[in-house]
Amino acid sequence: MTVNPQYILSEVLRLSAGRNLCLAYSGGVDSHVLLHLLASLPVEQRPKLSVIHIDHGLNADSARWAIHCQKTVEALGLCCEVIKVNVTQINELGLEAAARQARYQAFRQRLTEQDCLLTAQHQQDQAETVLLQLFRGAGVRGLSAMQAVTDLAGLRVVRPLLNVSRDALVAYANQHQLDWLEDPSNDDISINRNFLRHQVMPLLADRWPAISATLSRTASHQADAQLLLDELAQADLAAAEVDWAVASVSISALSQLSRQRCANALRFWLQRLGFQAPATIQLERIMDDVFSAAIDREPLVHWHNVEVRRFHQRLYAMAAPCSRPQPIHLVDTSDIPLSDNMILHWQPHRGAGLSLQTIQSGLTVAYRKGGEKIQLAGHAHHHSLKKLFQQWQIPPWQRQRIPLLFAGSELVAVVGYGWSAKHAVKDNETGWIAHTQAGQQTSFSLSDIADSGNL
């Protein structure tokens, strides 16, 4: 196998779909070859191209590597941005996973939906990923390993070298006299991937010379199977009256499915919502404990930062609450970031909402403590917030998470539900209605980026 520059570059242009290109450049042989190929594209044919090198600060030579990468990129007439990251949670995640999480977080903060991140994982990386997932007991999705195109929290990631062997990349690099870096940590066999690479894969290749290509083909077959499972899940969730806005789905409808089909729908639902994928034991608890709980019970299954609950024959998924947020003061209609990656957003409405004067006089965003009352616009009397929540059929656990707006100690709005008659605008005036919306996701689930190879 040899590197086919024309094919690889055509795949980059096809898969990036008109977005700006950003190469994740480690300085290793694989990303250096991809850099060299991209630089060979005529400027008039090449989308806007940027290069980022992540300095993890984990090696004493990392600063020298960053300088090497900048000089290498500049020699090709391009610019290289060096981003230093702080690798945390090493004890909890392991060094490799923690470093991976830190760099993907940096990419997500730097890039937008108009950008496409190019990474240089090759065929051996793909084969190793299949084996790592197999040894974890992964299902179809895990065994599909890395895809040529992945969407991570709105960021497109393209891997154009997955069908290219490392030997072919090294041969290309030698042919063009490329000067690449060797990270000594890649020789540390205490890291699972390196153990496979140095101890296991050579033995397998001696017996089955095409092992990397064969395992990569297995990943492709599993990806096709996962696509069919996802299509089935979407159909089952539609029949189960899924409500993506409030992250809920009908329990009675899911209960009519076979156990395997129900588990498939639940996995898809949770992952589409952006939550960490549940392990088999959590899925079983949802189907056994939550589905069958008595109507007066409030069952809960949780893992990592995810909670799944039941209310009125519907299943709800949500992020676990953080510590009680501090009050936030506002004096205008600018967006305000809240907890749980939510934003307080104002919209103008004719004849409805709070007056601008009320807002500009100063409001406080806080949460329920108990005993609050409000006379809503269109109502003749005050009602307790507790009674209103019951009338609106808001699940008990959500009531503590709904933002409230206060003018001093007076409750003037329940965000997303109603506002005070006293502070409401008249029919011929423009008012402002507050509601919440999801903020831009800037972090990745580890299940999305796990074992994606070295950058």
Nearest to 433 by CA among 412, 419, 447, 450: 419
Whole-angstrom Cα distance, residue 252 to residue 261? 14
- Residue 362, marked binder: no
With a CB cutoff of 8 Å and minimum separation 6, the contacts of 392 are: 417
29 is in an annotated binding site: yes
Q: Is 144 annotated as a binding residue?
A: no
Residue 402's Cβ-count burial label (10 Å; 0-12, 13-18, 19+) is middle
405's tokens: 């707006």
**What angle (nearest 5°) sits at the alpha carbon of residue 260, between those of residues 258 and 266?**
100
Q: Max alpha carbon distance in the chain (Å)?
A: 83
Do the beta carbons of residue 423 and residue 379 sit within 8 Å?
A: no
Q: Which are the contacts of 267, defined by CB distance < 8 A and separation ≥ 6?
A: 141, 233, 277, 278, 283
Q: How many angstroms separate the CA atoms of 252 and 240, rounded?
A: 8
Distance CA 164, CA 58 (A): 29
Q: Is 26 annotated as a binding residue?
A: yes
Give the annotated binding-site residues. Answer: 26-31
Give the annotated binding-site residues for ATP. Answer: 26-31
